[in-house]
Every structure is written in C-alpha cells, then in structure tokens.
Amino acid sequence: MKEGRQLYLRMIIEEGELSPTDFIGLFECADTMSRHIAEQEALNLFEFLKMPSDWKLETLTRIHQLGRRVPSPAEVKTVKRGSWSIEILLASPVLLFFLKHYVHPIVKAAWDDSLLRKKIVTFIRDRVFLGSKRQIEDQAIKKPRYRNLKIKSVGELESISDEDFEIEIIFEKQEILEVRAPLGELVKEFIAKLER
C-alpha cells in the first residue's frame, strides 16, 4: 500500500530526434518543475499550519540559498525513446523529507509536537499536490524554454486514484539560429525593404 499522494510529471516531445542539448533541456525542466512544486508545497504547508509570513520568507530565502546543492525531490521513473518521454515521480513521503530537512527549523520542531505532526500528516495525506497543474503553468509562463525545447502545453490527465495526480507537459523543438551581419548592412537592407 502506498504512503500518501503521488504526482507524476510526464514530459513529452512528440516528434523528432533529440540532440544532447535537447535531452539536457528536458531534464533541466524536470528538475526546475519538481523544485518549484516542492517550494510551493512548503509555502502551502505554512499557510495550512497558519505560520507567520516571516517564516515563509525565511524558508524561500533558505531554499534559494541552498539552490542546486539540495537534492531534487523527484525520482525519474521512465525514459522512453521514439516519441521521447520522461516520467518523473514526486511522492509525498519524499516531499515530507524535503520539508523536514531543508525548509524551516519549525518543521523539524513541529515533528516533535504531536498536534502539529498530525496537521502536517493531514496536509501530506489530503492536500499536497492539489494545485500542481496551476503551479506548473505558472512556472511555464516564467520560463517556457529549456535549451531548444519550448513548453507547448500543460494538461492534467485523468488520475487512476484520488491519491495520484498526472500532469503532462508537451514540448516542441525550436532550433535557434543565429545570424551575424554588420549593423550597417542590416540597416541598409531594412531601408531598402521599406522603400519598396
């Protein structure tokens, strides 16, 4: 039997072969999204526990200071070739570990207080990952590109159970071409097109 909720992020590139740069971009997106969800869930937990806003700010500051030194709270489940897809799993027990060890000292202290521990368990059991699609959409708006990949759509798939959430992120490949020319030539060409 599972212990708590799970969030599956399925990242798909529907067509074409992946270059090494694209492949790295796909994993960068997975890492960015899983870290963003962990941050947002930490803030949601603080709101649920009615913690002071200065603790929220301190938590965000600490998470950003630790940056990439903190392990990602996600696990790669599958990588499929063809129409490329990667499936990432965020499980609530892993998220709880992340919150307990990397967030705010009050979470560690709360674990020793039975009333607060019950509230944290209730949050992890009943509320975690409920707003994940919106959180991923917000992050996709902030950063839609990962190397040559651009997020095309974010959708929530029908879940197998009330405890599992599946979000699909579809990418499209976009090659970035760089053209170098002297500024004078570009201006002359632009003026010539305007005069036509």
pLDDT, tens only, 47-81: 898 888 887 788 778 877 877 788 888 999 999 98
Residue 11 pLDDT > 90, yes or no?
A: yes
The pTM is what? Answer: 0.81
pLDDT at 177: 61
Q: Do 42 and 54 form a contact (C-beta atoms < 8 A)?
A: no
pLDDT band, very low/low/confident/very high, at 104 (cuts 50, 70, 90): low
pLDDT at 179: 64
Q: Do 13 and 171 form a contact (C-beta atoms < 8 A)?
A: yes
Higher per-residue confidence, 100 vs 141: 141
Residue 2 pLDDT > 60, yes or no?
A: no
Nearest to 121 by CA among 84, 88, 95, 90: 95
Average pLDDT over residues 156-182: 82
Q: Do 102 and 94 form a contact (C-beta atoms < 8 A)?
A: no
C-alpha count within 13 angstroms, C-beta hemisphere, residue 99: 29
Q: What's the N-to-C CA distance of the chain in angstroms? A: 72
Average pLDDT over residues 9-21: 87
Residue 96 pLDDT > 70, yes or no?
A: yes
Instruction: List the alpha helices (DSSP H) in the chain.
Output: 20-48, 53-66, 92-102, 105-112, 114-126, 132-142, 183-195
pLDDT at 1: 40
Identify which of 9-13, 69-73, 93-97 has the greatest average pLDDT: 9-13
pLDDT tens profile 109-148: 767 777 888 888 899 888 999 999 999 999 999 999 999 8
Q: What is the mean pLDDT of the chain?
A: 85
Q: Do 37 and 160 form a contact (C-beta atoms < 8 A)?
A: no
SS3 41: helix
pLDDT at 3: 64
Q: How far apart are CA 99 and CA 45, in angstroms?
A: 9
Q: How far apart are CA 72 and CA 135, in angstroms?
A: 17
Structure tokens, 103 = 């967030």
Higher per-residue confidence, 178 vs 35: 35
SS3 16: coil
pLDDT at 178: 64
Structure tokens, 181 = 């020319």
Q: Do 62 and 179 form a contact (C-beta atoms < 8 A)?
A: no
